[in-house]
Amino acid sequence: MTVKVLIAGNGASAIYTAKELSDNGIDTVLVSGKAIDRVNFLKDTIQKEDTGILIYSDSEIISCQGCVNDFQITIRSNEKDSSENISGIVIAEEYRRKDNFESYGLKPSPSVISLSEITNAIEGRSNHSALLKEGLKVLFLTGCFQESNPVILNEVMTRALQLQKKYHQEVFILTGNLKVGGEGLEKLYRETKEAGVFYAKVNQIPPVIEQLDNGSVTVVYQDEILQSLAKISPDMVVVDEELLPSENLEALARVFELNQDKTGFLQTDNVHREPVFTNRKGILAAGPSRRIADHHAYLDDAANAALVMMNLTGGKIDSDPVGKARIGVVECARCLTCFRICPHKAIRLEGRVTVYADACEGCGICIAECPREYITWTGPGISDDLEKIHISGTAEQTEDFIPVIVAFCCTRSAGKSFRTAADQFQSSLPKGLKIVEVPCAGGISMGHILSTFMKGADGVILLTCHPGNCYSEVGNQYAKSRAENVKSRLSVMGFEKERLHLETIAANMETDFVRIVNAFQKQLLKIGPSSIRKNLKNS
């Protein structure tokens, strides 16, 4: 089957991605929220007409069923619905800009304008010759009250340079910390300095900005080098803008069931997730849809998206691969817990409840949450690993008591830090430490924890990824709430709740791993052997 990819968007990001895909022989469908003319659009952007790119202009994506390699998408144009069978999806919408007049306490006027307005004037898109008059004193306000953004900073410096050099204006830039880390920004900064653009940094004391009724502006700020106040009354003020997610993004996130960050972008700061990936397999966020840091990332994201799409099969995988969730056919009571909680949207509701094997990431959150324990792993799972652990009984607390610690380690973080620790500090690890590596801490069920105690473990420790770093978004949160739940039950049962412990850890924290397990061992030495272990017959 051929691979067919859908792109949502119509700006630079969508165009670069469409070009990468079509250059690699992938069928592409582009859905644009606004009206575009196919022939002109392709001629102007991809610079050829016979691309094989199908364009839905002035259209809306209203539903998405299925999973990677086999999505069914409904697109609505002119009140008519069309259906497309799609292998993968790239969300490639542009930024929405919001002017910052309000945060600087300014009202827009002929001499107080936004960054977009000066860009339009310079690019000749608007007739604003008054803005480009020679000799004007121009003040740019950028990043004074919030972090500067590399995309905006690039535009501020580019326009400042043009005004100073080409239009012979006198440019001042009032800024917070100038983040010149993006590609080419430091060079641009030097060019502006060379041309005579003047910068003042205001980090310690916010500037006082006053606008008179006639529109003129006076800014008083603290020159942080000279520790002295400075006053400037510019002829023109250019106010920076904030980059917000496209207005389409929220609807797209809803249709495709994608996680958004606090400001609405489609990728959270997740160290385990590679660029362009979202919480769903086969659905990617490229460019400004995931808040890229600089304009070069448009091209990188387009290329990365094409690489991912080229690896799709264009059809469902028939064989049952190992390490996925599988729902018991007969037992399932259709409570839909799994459907509701799956962070990767890999549960299928058609007749009976099944798992989209292609989309399943094998985190096991559904397995641990299924109230009847009717979901299992294909191939060996956590319970099989627990089977292999043998614990021998022990008498009352003696001097040679060695606590048995079973550590459930998320393979992406704690598993890695354990392996490094075992390699480098083997002798510093507790003698009774037993490791159970799990695909995600969210897959550790209350049953797993309790059965480990039943086997005679003196202590159980759950080592999960740090908050916000879970590859499955919420696995570490599930682990935390289950641990708290089990602890309260242990207290009721008269079993020391200190025998269960949870810590978050990262893959590069091997010394912390050693510290954490040793501290836990110390605590267990104080409590002594578990009552269950004391009653075990020595085998």
Q: Which residues bind other proteins (CB under 8 A)?
A: 137, 170, 172, 190, 193-194, 196, 198, 201, 220, 223-233
Which of 125/193 has CB closer to other proteins?
Answer: 193
Which of 230/271 has CB closer to other proteins?
Answer: 230
* Tokens linked to 157: 């410096």
Q: How far is the CB of 149 from other proteins (least distance, A)?
A: 20
Pair 114, 241: CB distance under 8 Å: yes
Question: Cα dist. 514→60, 231, 427, 521 in Å?
Answer: 53, 57, 10, 11
Q: How far is the CB of 171 from other proteins (least distance, A)?
A: 11
Element containing residue 172 per DSSP (H, E): strand 170-175
For 332-360, b where at least 16 C-beta lie within 10 A, e where not — what string?
beeeebbeebbbbbbbbeeeebbbbbbbb
Of 408, 97, 85, which is closest to residue 247 (Cα–Cα)?
97
Pair 500, 405: CB distance under 8 Å: no
Q: How far is the CB of 133 from other proteins (least distance, A)?
A: 17
Q: How far is the CB of 468 from other proteins (least distance, A)?
A: 32
Q: How far is the CB of 228 from other proteins (least distance, A)?
A: 4
Lookup result for tokens 């094409």: 306
Burial label for 123, CB within 10 Å (0-12, 13-18, 19+), is exposed
Q: How far is the CB of 227 from other proteins (least distance, A)?
A: 7
Q: Where are the beta strands (DSSP E) in 291-361?
A: 325-327, 347-350, 352-355
Pair 26, 42: CB distance under 8 Å: no
Q: Within 13 Å and on the Cβ side, how many CA atoms surround 223?
A: 10
Q: How far is the CB of 162 from other proteins (least distance, A)?
A: 18
Lookup result for tokens 């003042």: 200
Which of 105/196 has CB closer to other proteins?
Answer: 196
Which of 43/168 has CB closer to other proteins?
Answer: 168
Q: How far is the CB of 233 from other proteins (least distance, A)?
A: 5
Angle ∠(384,390,392) on CA atoms, nearest 5: 160
Strand pairing report for 217-223 and 208-211 = antiparallel
Which of 191/300 has CB closer to other proteins?
Answer: 191
Which of 181/468 has CB closer to other proteins?
Answer: 181
Q: Cα–Cα distance between 353 and 329 in angstroms, integer?
A: 8
Which of 89/197 has CB closer to other proteins?
Answer: 197
Question: Cα dist. 62→68, 257, 365, 522 in Å?
Answer: 18, 12, 29, 57
Q: How far is the CB of 505 from other proteins (least distance, A)?
A: 36
Which of 76/137 has CB closer to other proteins?
Answer: 137
Which of 201/280 has CB closer to other proteins?
Answer: 201
Which of 230/536 has CB closer to other proteins?
Answer: 230
Q: How far is the CB of 220 from other proteins (least distance, A)?
A: 8
Q: Cα–Cα distance between 182 and 177 in angstroms, integer?
A: 14
Instruction: Count the Cβ atoms, other than its own, within 10 Å of residue 519.
Output: 12
* Tokens linked to 457: 């473990």
